[in-house]
Structure 1
Amino acid sequence: MKIGQIRQTERDIQDNLEYRNLKVEIGKLQEQIGKLRQELENQGSASYKERLTFLQNDQNRITSEFSSVTGNMEQIKVSINIDKEDLKSQYKNIEGRFKEQWAIKHGDQEAISEIDRLINELENTLMNYHTQKMQEINCKIFDLWEEAYNGDDIEKIEIRSEQESTQNNRSYNYRVVMMKNGKELDMRGRCSAGQRMLASIIIRMALAECFSKDFGMFVLDEPTTNLDEIHINKLSESLRR
């Protein structure tokens, strides 16, 4: 054989071997591809079935909830219709009734305002009367003290009133004071028994003259106790007036 033919034969054999090897490899690859494709199909089918089952369950749940809500809505509609009928009955002629009640309430408020105004006026009148009477009483006490008291240590005595107000009440506290050396002092605990007795009688006489009219009797219980002869005589002269 010629050298060229030998080389050609060698190449053919070599190509044939390579072809066979490639064919075997292609077969193996096709077999692997088939297996992989089957696995993918199996996995996809299971996943789709699982997903489908989940969606079907979710659909059933939503359908059940929808049915429940629909039933509740029907019941609510029935209740609304019943309430509408009740409201029509309860609020029949409501505008007229409202105007009537408004007029009554408005009238009550005006009456209350008028009562409050009258109460305030009465309180102011009483306070003014109290102030005037206290001035009158103290003037009478001053005159009687000058007539009946012989000493020079106490210039005069007066009644002091201090107002106390609470939320629903107004009251006064009273105390007897004396002017001594130009200073005002409480008489309690600072004067003799005779001075206390004389002040007590004079205050009673002043109250009787200010609040009594044409009253011809004045009763005293042992008025001369703790008084000396001079003050007994002066007190007697004051009582005779």
Structure 2
Amino acid sequence: MKDNVRYRNLLQQLKVLQNEIGELELRNVADDWEQLEHEAVRAEKMYQNLIAKRGPVFGEIKSKDEELRKYLTEWDTDYKDAAVRYRQALVNLTSTKAVTDDVAKLHKAVDQAIMKYHSMKMEEINAIASDLWQKTYQGTDIDTIMIRSDDDEESTVARNSYKYRVVMVKQDTEMDMRGRCSAGQKVLACIIIRLALAECFGVNCGIIALDEPTTNLDQDNIQALAKALHGIIEARKHQANFQLIIITHDEEFLKHVHCNDFTEHYYRVSRDDRQKSVIERQPITDIMAS
């Protein structure tokens, strides 16, 4: 039965195939030939077009090959050690950046140190100046003097720049001394500030020179200044490099300083008969005894 069924199916398939063969035999073979001929012509034209385009493409490829050989030659000559040089340049760049960062940190640290040092020295100078003023000035209208430092906003300097002014203090009230003090007060303030600066910054160069320090000072302030100078000399006389030079016409001032406690001679400048300067070394006892 299976074979019978299979036989019948094959007969059915054979019948279908015979029908298809008949249909193909009935088709117009000439139409297929024309279509194929048309396609062949079109393919030939496309082939010829591709042949025509192949020449420029080959020329461009040849040009690119020449350019590539040129680049390869340049690489072998100019960029042969590019990797090594790049590494060295990177190391230099990194090192320079690290040094720059360290310099910036150092610059900032130095700025902070300078500001701190400035603040510390200003406090020290004002303390010395205040002490000297209170010991020297005999008036009651000024309790003390101070140096004030204000930031200079107009300065273009990287570090802080300051404008300094001298103020006088009376019962915690500060006023600028410029234009408000007498000539004697101005002279005394100048001397005291110079002494304070010498005390702060003249540790290794302890030379103080005073030229006519008693100008415009009254007798009480002259005596007070002499007493203050005597105290400074007494405190620093054991310092090996300390020296006080006083140029003055006021011999009474020298007596108040008690110069004979510290020296045995002084130099007197005078004029001879021909009006020429003469410098004579004389014993200090001549002044103290006169």
The TM-score, its normalising length taken from structure 2, stands at 0.54
Return the match for 1:239 from 229, 233, 255: 229
Return the match for 1:127 from 106, 115, 121: 115
Return the match for 2:215 from 218, 221, 225: 225
- Give the Cα separation in 2 of the matches to 1:88 and 1:214: 66
- Give the Cα separation in 1 of the matches to 2:90 and 2:180: 65
**1:157 Cα shift?**
0.9
Q: Aligned pair 1:144/2:116, yes or no?
A: no
**RMSD value over aligned CA atoms?**
2.8
Return the match for 1:206 from 187, 196, 208: 196
Partner of 1:44: none
**1:67 Cα shift?**
8.9
**Considering only CA atoms, is the larger Rg found in Structure 1 or Structure 2?**
1
5+ residue gaps, structure 2, are 1-51, 232-290
- Give the Cα separation in 2 of the matches to 1:70 and 1:185: 95
Return the match for 2:186 from 196, 218, 221: 196
Return the match for 1:158 from 146, 163, 172: 146
Equivalent position SS for 2:163 = strand
Counting only pairs closer than 5 Å after superposition, residues 1-241 of structure 1 correspond to structure 2 as 75=63, 78-164=66-152, 166=156, 168-180=158-170, 182-213=172-203, 217-241=207-231
Superposed CA offset, 1:24-65 (max 9, x none): xxxxxxxxxxxxxxxxxxxxxxxxxxxxxxxxxxxxxxx9xx
Check 1:93–1:213 CA distance in 2 against 1; reply closer, same or farther (3 A cut).
closer
**1:162 Cα shift?**
2.4
Structure 1 vs Structure 2: percent identity of aligned residues? 40
Superposed CA offset, 1:134-170 (max 9, x none): 1011000110110111112112111111234536454
Contact 2:198-2:206 at 8 Å conserved across structures? no
Check 1:105–1:223 CA distance in 2 against 1; reply closer, same or farther (3 A cut).
same
Partner of 2:251: none
Equivalent position SS for 2:224 = helix
Higher relative helix content: 1
Higher relative strand content: 2
Equivalent position SS for 1:219 = strand
Contact 2:129-2:146 at 8 Å conserved across structures? yes
The TM-score, its normalising length taken from structure 1, stands at 0.63
Contact 1:153-1:181 at 8 Å conserved across structures? no
Higher relative contact order by CA 8 Å / sep ≥ 6: 1 or 2? 1
